[in-house]
Amino acid sequence: MVTAANKPDSKELLALLSSVCDPEIPVLTLEDLGVLRNISLDNGKITVTITPTYAGCPAMEVMRSDIETTLTEAGYQQVSVQQSLSPAWTTDWMSANGRQKLRAYGIAPPATTTCGQSTGHIECPRCGSGEVKKISEFGSTACKALYQCQDCREPFDYFKCI
């Protein structure tokens, strides 16, 4: 239980929550993905705000449960997880580390500039070739498209720019 003597700070909570993984792409944490938006403390109550990658994301309930479980197992009793749709999530919120993890996992990260505009330059996460072809607008989840590399011929998911 959180008391005045052991009141958590935001850094401690962020350290705990930085281990919570995305249920659809388990190599990414919610922090890597940019879904974890805010942690607030008020009279011993912890409120965590998360933003879905798109409205109606089916993984939100699992994320909420994983956050609550992580904090309650660490001894925090008053935990609330809120969902915020505004501002809308953008791939700009994804960390550089998260983008590297995606590539290593076999998913092409969003091809964006620093302004969030799509560069249109998608590279195969396996061989690095830019010679790719879109197979389907939707891949394994709605936030990904299915591509095939024209050099190594391997299919791969591309995490769409939003």
Domains in the chain, CATH or no CATH each: 4-83 (3.30.300.130), 91-159 (no CATH)
Residue 42: the pLDDT is: 86
Q: Name beta bridge partners: 29.
A: 21
Provide φ and ψ at 36, rounded to 5°.
-75, 110
Hey, what are 160's tokens? 């769409």
What 8-12 contacts at long range (C-beta under 8 Å, 24+ apart), as own/partner pairs, is: 8/41, 8/46, 8/76, 9/41, 10/39, 10/41
Residue 127: the pLDDT is: 96
What is the rounded CA–CA span in Å between residue 78 and residue 21?
Answer: 21
Residue 54: the pLDDT is: 83
What residues in the chain have per-residue pLDDT under 70? Answer: 1-8, 113-120
The answer to whether the pTM exceeds 0.85 is no
∠ CA 33-37-38, rounded to 5°:
145
Residue 118: the pLDDT is: 56
